[in-house]
Structure 1
Amino acid sequence: MSSITIATLPRISRDALSALLLSSSSSSSSSSPTTTTNNLAIIDVRDSDHIGGHIKTSTWIPSSSLDYKLPELLRTLRETEKVVFHCALSQQRGPSAALRYVRERERAFGKEEGERQQVFVLEGGFVQWQEVYGKDERLTVGFVEDIWRDF
């Protein structure tokens, strides 16, 4: 059994993630902006609160559908170096999804291969992300400021 817990899952700041995204997009300018590179994948597990914007290149997998999407996610992201999970605040759904992903990855591929991939939770989730990067079209897609104004 994995020794990782929600409390020990590594966190990544919005600034560190934005730097990764910007460096990834400049080094792979030929790839589509919505495709995942082998370096970084962002998994957005918000449900109906997904409206009003999302992080560029992120994949939306509502937490309510994670159970049946997890095997596909494991296959798709097997060679990805860094995977970042988030929800609105990254307090419950994002960390829970990341923990399930890590544990399933270790179960499916073994602990050694599971440890080769870095899995993070975005600190503050999309709420904190949009405060700084919501209007930055290089980093955020479909941002609707009115929806996030009171957060």
Structure 2
Amino acid sequence: MGELANCSRCNGLFLKGSSTVCPECRKQEEKDFHIVYAFLRKKQNRTATVEEIEVETGVSERQIRQFVKQKRLHPVHFPNLSYGCEKCGAAIIEDRLCDSCKESIQKGLHVRERNASLEAKKEQQEREETNRTYYSW
């Protein structure tokens, strides 16, 4: 059975299942999606930006970007749709992070791995030095 949760949109209580919003807000989201999709299906609107869609349909920018993030609206078909990178907020059309943030994370991981490797070598050398036996005659 689902657990009791607060709706992320209206803060009302509902039994949480696969959705993070209550049934009423879910219906509103579906309604909003159909409004946006109907707008974008028109040939002259396919290149509309998120801001233009918001003005014409009345659906919030946040909700439109959420549809893109959920892959309900595909930037391949509508090239000016995007959502924000989870780290820096830059406009992206796929994944969770922009290329710049991915690159900085990769660099950080490489530096950490290199430092761990150097630390391991240093510890190994210290162990070898302490295990040496010296003989004097």
* Pairwise same-fold verdict (TM > 0.5): no
* Structure with the bigger percentage of strand: 1
**Which bin holds the TM-score, normalised by the shorter protein?**
under 0.3
**Between Structure 1 and Structure 2, whose CA radius of gyration is higher?**
2
Q: TM-score of the superposition, structure 2-length normalised?
A: 0.25
